[in-house]
Amino acid sequence: VPVGVSSIIGSLIEQGHEVELFDTTFYQTEDNPADENRMKSDQVLSVDYEKFGWIVDENDVYEDFREAVEYFIPDLIMLSIVECSYNLGMRLLESIYDLNITNVVGGIFPILNSNIWFSTFTIDSLCISEGENIDVRKILEKEPMFIKTDLVDINNIPFLNFDLYEERRLYKPMHGKFRKTLPIEFSRGCPYECSYCANHALKNHFGKWYRWKSVKRISEEIEHYIKKYQPDLFYFVSESFTSISNKKFDEICEMYSHYRVPFWMNTRPEDLTEYKVKRLEEIGCFRISVGIEHGNDKFRRDILNRHVTNEKIIRGCKYIENSNITYSVNNIVGFPGETEELVWDTINLNKQLNPDSIGAFIFTPFRGTDIYKYCIDNNYLNKDHEIGDLNRESILINNPLSKERIKHYYENFVNYVKG
């Protein structure tokens, strides 16, 4: 469930607006859903999607969207997009262009690439900041514009609101089962500056981006979500939860120990300690997703700006293996300049670990990131490239690895690790 959209829904409702949601999750907008591709390559356990109501809607998404708009007759349409959903978003707006309804487009992609406002006739206003403090009435009263507000105080915004989602949307496949999973936003931003991530660019854009909620606020949200939605599982939304000091970590663990809802989280392996893993296990951590990305120390440092050694990665993962917490590792293939030998460095690092799930993804250079600029400067990308399905094929050119070889490693990564 998207945190940003859920937060803005909560803010709009608290301001007294009537809100409806059109969610494209269950529409077939690409030939193969990403999770199906990952199941085929043994990266995740197979689940019966139909059994849990996750059935692809065969209706035309544009016709259904128009029908929903004509029924609700909104004064304003708000569209949240990332780069890979940009084309879908623009086609949705084009499908209702003749209805002459004001729209505002926001999300990470518009924030970091405001020039898209000049490249299409379909966008009225562009939000290049967080959306919780948007003044809807001002948007409707003024000419098309860029909207920029100060960063919100994340301790004083309404709780996430999940009321408008279909019930099935709240369930997530996890470890071979569907569980009602809700996010709890602990922080926004990240203390690290990986070249392939947008957090560094967002920090440059806003001047400050990394912020934490107070323990009191987090506790209030947890109690609210348990009472209202009865989740099976929480997802701790924090770019690297275990990077915080032991003092703050202990405060959060002490607070969460009073609840009985299992949770999963993302982290970096170098931030894991034996003590922190033990505490996570004690308060009900069900699963940890560990970002490895690449298995060559020098390549990871020089190209990805990740200053961690394989030795520290292995040590962090072993702490989890010595607990009852399950974990997965995430890897990326097809980086600019990556060779067969470098891919095998990543495979061989994974061979030294024992997670229950191994993820591999095809590298995607998102606009606004440092590695995107590196790709442009070194002729690895056409400037007019488009990003669609993230794991269909590499969009890089002039790379040592062909598109076919990158796809091969993506599809066979798990087999190579286990072979």
CATH code assigned at 240: 3.80.30.20
**The residue to which tokens 């506790």 are assigned:** 219
3-state secondary structure of 187: strand
Same domain flag for 242 and 138: no
Same domain flag for 292 and 248: yes
Same domain flag for 237 and 306: yes
Same domain flag for 86 and 130: yes
Span 209-244, pLDDT tens digits: 899 999 999 999 999 999 999 999 999 999 888 999
Helices (H) and strands (E) in the chain, counts: 15, 13
Same domain flag for 80 and 222: no
**Domain tally for the chain?**
2
In-domain check, residue 40: no
User: Domain holding 140: CATH number?
Assistant: 3.40.50.280
In-domain check, residue 44: no
In-domain check, residue 203: yes
> Is the Cβ–Cβ distance between 362 and 406 less than 8 Å?
yes
What residues form DSSP beta bridges with 236?
184, 265
In-domain check, residue 299: yes
In-domain check, residue 218: yes
Q: What percent of the chain has pLDDT over 70?
A: 94
Same domain flag for 115 and 63: yes
In-domain check, residue 236: yes
Closest listed residue to residue 104, CA positions, set 46, 149, 146: 146
Q: Which amino acid is at 356?
A: D
Same domain flag for 182 and 273: yes
Helices marked H in 208-285: 215-229, 246-256, 274-282
The rounded distance, in Å, linking the Cα atoms of 108 and 202 is 8
Same domain flag for 310 and 374: yes
**Which of 101, 130, 147 is the C-terminal boundary of a domain?**
147
pLDDT by residue for the chain (419 residues), tens only, comes to 999 999 999 999 999 999 999 999 888 875 444 455 544 545 555 566 666 666 777 899 999 999 999 999 999 999 999 999 999 999 999 999 999 999 999 999 999 998 888 888 899 999 999 999 998 988 888 777 888 888 999 999 999 999 999 999 999 887 778 899 999 999 999 999 999 999 988 988 888 889 999 999 999 999 999 999 999 999 999 988 899 999 999 999 999 999 989 999 999 999 999 999 999 999 999 999 999 999 999 999 999 999 999 999 999 999 999 999 999 999 999 999 999 999 999 999 999 999 999 999 999 999 999 999 999 999 999 888 888 667 789 999 999 999 999 999 999 999 999 98
Same domain flag for 139 and 181: no
Q: Alpha-carbon Rg of the chain, whole angstroms?
A: 22
What's this model's pTM, rounded to 2 decimal places? Answer: 0.90
In-domain check, residue 393: yes
* Angle at CA of residue 181, ends 17 and 392, nearest 5°: 95
Same domain flag for 233 and 375: yes
The rounded distance, in Å, linking the Cα atoms of 242 and 118 is 41
For residue 153, count CB atoms less than 10 angstroms from its CB and return exposed for 0-12, middle for 13-18, buried for 19 or more. exposed
DSSP state of 148: -
The rounded distance, in Å, linking the Cα atoms of 325 and 315 is 15
Same domain flag for 131 and 234: no
Same domain flag for 343 and 306: yes
3-state secondary structure of 317: helix
In-domain check, residue 157: no
DSSP percent split of the chain into helix, strand, coil, nearest 5: 40, 15, 45
Domain housing 108: 3-33+56-147
